[in-house]
Amino acid sequence: MLAASPTTLPLFLALSACKGPAVLSGPPPVANETQMLLHAVTAEQNLIWIYNKAITGYSALGPTLSPLLAEHQAHLAQLTARVVEPTGRKVPDTVTARPALDPTADGALAQLRAAEQAAVARLLSRLGAASPSLAQLYASVAASEATHVTTLTSRIQQGGARS
């Protein structure tokens, strides 16, 4: 172990003033693309949370919502698999939005639809700065979530939980 002695102290001070590799500082900053990817991961986690809440709260919606939930879980798996940096750091497993579920089943469907629409818009806003491969994943997930919007709209028009 290196101890601060009269002979090594000047060396320490000189090193700390250097602009070389920051061996003594924290981990390197996360690249912008990775930062956006981590946001996309969190957005999927938030969607999964609200779907689970809706299925638990309104069991009659289960047959409609469960396939969509399974697709969100597949989205999350693919997005998480694309996170290759920072090396060795775990992808955050955190839900950042826990909104109260609407007190009616029809309201909950509308709430999910709004969440899906917002997710589509967010994914499309990330296309420009992404690598071609990641942009395609975002676009495919956005297309999937756009079909969820249509599915939920159709269910709302059929009478929501009553049908």
Three-class DSSP labels, 129-160: CCCHHHHHHHHHHHHHHHHHHHHHHHHHHCCH
Q: How far apart are the first and last CA of the chain?
A: 72
Nearer to other proteins (CB atom), residue 62 or residue 67: 67
Between 15 and 77, CB nearer to other proteins: 77
Q: In this complex, which beta carbon is closest to other proteins, that of residue 46 or of residue 151?
A: 151
Least separation in angstroms between CB 93 and other proteins? 17
Residue 56 or 150 having the CB closest to other proteins: 150
| DSSP type of residue 92 | P
Min dist. Cβ of residue 146 to other proteins (A): 4
- Closest distance of CB 10 from other proteins, Å: 50
CA distances in angstroms from 10 to 4, 5, 17, 19, 24, listed in the order given: 9, 9, 11, 16, 16
Rg (CA), the chain: 23
Q: Which residues bind other proteins (CB under 8 A)?
A: 67-68, 70-71, 74-75, 77-78, 81, 124, 127-128, 132-133, 135-144, 146-148, 150-151
As measured in angstroms, the least distance from the Cβ of 137 to other proteins is 7
